[in-house]
Structure 1
Amino acid sequence: MNYWLFKSEPDVYGIDHLAAEPQQQCRWDGIRNYQARNFLRDKVQAGDQVLFYHSSCPRPGVAGIMEVVKAAYPDPAQFDLESDYFDPKATQDKPQWYAVDVKLRKKFARHLPLSALKAHPDLKDMMLFRQGRLSVVPVTMAEWQTIESMVKG
């Protein structure tokens, strides 16, 4: 099992949106960065645990935990002419972009703010801080355990 952090803007799709979905499950799509795509396509697997991170908002931070319930498959939005995520270079034979399905496991009563993550010495090397623009980033087991303890504490 691997650990990840997936970012989403809460006004576009936040943890409350996921909590309201049937079975609290959805397709995590719209990834349009090649490095993030490669993580989704090549590394993210069913059973992996994911931190749901609210980004590009007044108080960014971790809002809850999800689980990957379906590994990577071609993102259907890339083929949809009406979608903001349409890609004219993508074909059914050579898809460019991938999605996974996730299920909500836990919504935090209070999100864990970015400032608290940055202040914790055990999290100083998180990829989140080194490559902040990526919407899908790996999290080490030690980082995951630190974040879990911060949420409980």
Structure 2
Amino acid sequence: MTENVRLSAGDAAPDFTLATDTGDTLTLKDLRGRKVVLYAYPAAMTPGCTKQACDFRDSLASLQAAGYEVVGISPDKPAKLAKFRERDAITFPLVSDEDKSVLIAYGAYGEKQLYGKTVTGVIRSTFVIDENGAIEHALYNVKATGHVAKLRRDLGLD
């Protein structure tokens, strides 16, 4: 696989329309006028992804009070996302990108290091998108644990 295109501050956030954990669809354009934290994670109900989702869940009220909506994206099927939401009381939308086209457009799918080996998969990433649909922050290869706290500091919320 070739090197991923990486997004930078000022780039237009690639639009998407994806199925959610509730069976609805979510379109990035529908969130215009609000700031969005879109985070990409490899797989629902795995230890790291659960920790990260719960960190976002636990910070959701303060993120929303600061004007941010949170959306999680993974290649999981909507039914698995629904189980994840129910099991861990996730209170923000989870969207399914089964063909990985949106993850690729965001540079969040491709080659990465996993336990010293080069593999192809979801690159744990977070994107902060402004009210007009432009990237404010594109953070790649983030850690599952402690990332939300760091993001909050970077956004000036703590």
Fold shared by both chains (TM-score > 0.5):
no
| TM-score normalised by structure 2 residue count | 0.31
Which protein has the larger Cα radius of gyration, Structure 1 or Structure 2? 1
